[in-house]
């Protein structure tokens, strides 16, 4: 490695991070913790690093104490794991401080985890970002050995999106003239998602498509050496189109084969796992299913509505359910299921005993009957302290057989959910 280049980068990055402007996110970090920030590309992992650096500077730390390296910098394209120690050597030759180390997109360096573990073992404070969930594989988790805390970074929540638009969350803001403004901003977030950069562009769909192509061809096809990109395209599209229904790996395999592409079920498993690893999609199991079916037949969702919307025609109902899934996943993690036995309920959170249906509108009487009857039947099979139906913009209470079902508009529901986190 060219040590002069490394030293230039260290100082160049110090000058940059000292002056970068950030919109603070309400993500609480342990002050003495080492962190791995993971999540979809462009969710703001790097900006969370900048936010942490800004906090350190505000506390009185010198910018010379900051060692920030972005491994997506093309000037580091030839770097290998054996060169990582050279970066630390270059810093020591320049400064007498013990640096606070920020390693951005470190997953590009094979074997990075041993270097990060060594830094933590020798008392350095270390922050790491990556866009690849395989960073959290069993082997890497074993190497990190509890030295790092894992923080998933999601796209902007609706509350964060409001703040990015200059709107401060206040009590009773859902009433009066503010209600119309809230709903307008909600529509933009609903259709184009919460990736921080998307709001800067007039043609948001074009930017989202460009980002997805980078993820598809760079993070999926190239990095994982996908041999059958046509099959992967069909799988992603079918997952998007089937979002509101359980989908099996056998069904995905049959659909792909019917399109004239030869593929095995094991390869479909592998490709879907890659979608999880690049934070495109996640899966929700059926709480009523046997163990094998919990893994083989699940409901799939996207981590961002904007990317999902690239694949949909008449998207409203699926975007609504996906929005609810993201919010629940963010708050409850793996304590999130759907229920499908005798009756189907979209979401169930066992720890809260909370069953949730999602319906774009209940204006049709048959739709209202279907959704409410499903919740009533469900409450006879499973413990349910709370029953809800999330709609796009309808609100009321339904009393049936001594049971109360709350009907909540999506924009109001999402704010209440986010206030719990």
- Is residue 63 predicted with pLDDT exceeding 70? yes
Q: What is the pLDDT of residues 301-325, one digit of tens each?
A: 999 999 999 999 999 999 999 999 9
CB of 172 within 8 A of CB of 180? Answer: no
49-55-61-66 Cα dihedral, nearest 10 degrees: 10
- In the predicted model, is pLDDT for residue 174 greater than 80? no
Write out pLDDT tens, residues 91-119: 999 999 999 999 999 888 988 999 999 99
Q: Where are the domains of the chain?
A: 3-153, 159-188, 314-421
Q: Whole-angstrom Cα distance, residue 91 to residue 73?
A: 18
For residue 133, pLDDT over 60 is answered with no
| Domain 3-153 fold | Rossmann fold (3.40.50)
CB–CB of 115/101 below 8 Å?
Answer: no
For residues 260 and 273, the answer to whether their CB atoms sit within 8 Å is no
pLDDT for 132 beyond 70: no
Which pair of tokens denotes residue 183?
């709903």
- With a threshold of 0.75, does the pTM exceed it? yes
pLDDT tens per residue across span 2-39: 999 999 999 999 999 999 988 889 898 998 899 999 88
């Amino acid at each position: 490695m060219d040590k002069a280049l490394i030293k230039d980068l260290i100082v160049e990055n110090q000058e940059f991070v000292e002056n970068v402007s950030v919109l603070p996110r309400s993500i609480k970090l342990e002050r003495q913790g080492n962190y791995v920030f993971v999540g979809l590309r462009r969710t703001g992992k790097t900006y969370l690093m900048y936010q942490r650096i800004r906090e350190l500077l505000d506390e009185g730390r010198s910018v010379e104490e900051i060692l920030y390296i972005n491994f997506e910098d093309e000037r580091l394209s030839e770097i290998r794991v054996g060169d990582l120690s050279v970066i630390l050597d270059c810093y020591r030759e320049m400064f007498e401080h013990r640096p606070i180390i920020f390693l951005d997109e470190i997953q590009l360096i094979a074997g990075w985890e041993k270097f990060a573990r060594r830094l933590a073992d020798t008392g350095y404070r270390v922050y790491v970002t990556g866009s690849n969930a395989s960073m959290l594989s069993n082997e890497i988790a074993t190497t990190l050995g509890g030295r790092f805390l894992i923080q998933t970074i999601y796209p902007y929540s609706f509350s964060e999106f409001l703040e990015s638009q200059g709107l401060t969350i206040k009590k009773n803001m859902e009433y009066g003239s503010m209600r119309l403004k809230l709903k307008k901003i909600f529509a933009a977030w609903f259709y184009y998602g919460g990736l921080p950069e998307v709001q800067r562009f007039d043609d948001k769909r074009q930017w989202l498509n460009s980002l997805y192509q980078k993820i598809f061809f760079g993070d999926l096809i190239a990095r994982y050496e996908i041999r059958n990109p046509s099959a992967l395209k069909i799988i992603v599209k079918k997952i998007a189109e089937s979002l509101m229904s359980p989908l099996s790996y056998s069904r995905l395999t049959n659909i792909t084969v019917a399109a004239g592409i030869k593929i095995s079920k094991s390869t479909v498993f592998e490709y879907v796992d890659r979608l999880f690893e690049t934070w495109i999609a996640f899966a929700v199991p059926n709480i009523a299913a046997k163990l094998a079916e919990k893994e083989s037949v699940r409901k799939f969702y996207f981590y961002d509505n904007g990317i999902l919307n690239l694949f949909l025609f008449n998207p409203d109902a699926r975007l609504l359910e996906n929005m609810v899934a993201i919010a629940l996943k963010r708050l409850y993690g793996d304590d999130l299921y759907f229920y499908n036995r005798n009756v189907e309920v979209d979401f169930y959170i066992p720890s809260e005993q909370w069953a949730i249906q999602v319906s774009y509108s209940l204006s049709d009487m048959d739709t209202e009957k279907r959704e409410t009857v499903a919740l009533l039947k469900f409450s006879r099979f499973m413990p349910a302290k709370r029953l809800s139906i999330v709609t796009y913009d309808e609100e009321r209470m339904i009393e049936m057989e001594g049971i109360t079902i709350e009907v909540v508009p999506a924009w109001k529901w999402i704010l209440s959910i986010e206030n719990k986190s």
